[in-house]
């Protein structure tokens, strides 16, 4: 399935992201299951987690040291905001 383009990302509390997709309602993605291991556990630091940024073209998100999550996972494993 082709994922819609992400137009904005906002860090929320409890290691979650608010993702807004082009032409769709916003969705919440829980990063907690990914925040383990030497490289990804850095996402548990609140200040660092808030440094998330949208990739050019809206295909995904990443953090300053290169941590990212596959775009299809962001979409398929997120929950629509009611």
- Long-range contacts of 43-51, Cβ-Cβ distance < 8 Å, separation of 24 or more: 43/15, 43/67, 44/15, 49/11, 49/15, 50/11
Domains in the chain, ordered, with CATH? 6-80 (3.30.2020.10)
Specify the pLDDT at position 25: 84
Other Cβ atoms closer than 10 A to 71: 18
Cα–Cα distance, 47 to 56 (Å, whole number)? 22
Of 38, 15, 11, 16, the C-alpha closest to 28 is 16
pLDDT digits (tens, 9 = 90+) for 19-49: 999 988 899 999 999 999 888 999 999 999 9
Q: Are 59 and 7 in contact (CB under 8 A)?
A: no
């Amino acid at each position: 399935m082709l994922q819609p383009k992400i137009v904005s990302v906002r860090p929320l509390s409890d290691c979650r992201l608010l993702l807004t997709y082009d032409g769709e309602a916003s969705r919440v993605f829980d990063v907690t299951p990914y925040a383990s291991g030497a490289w990804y556990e850095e996402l548990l630091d609140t200040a660092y987690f808030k440094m998330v940024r949208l990739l050019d073209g809206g295909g995904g998100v990443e953090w300053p040291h290169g941590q990212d999550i596959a775009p299809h996972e962001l979409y398929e494993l997120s929950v629509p905001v009611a």
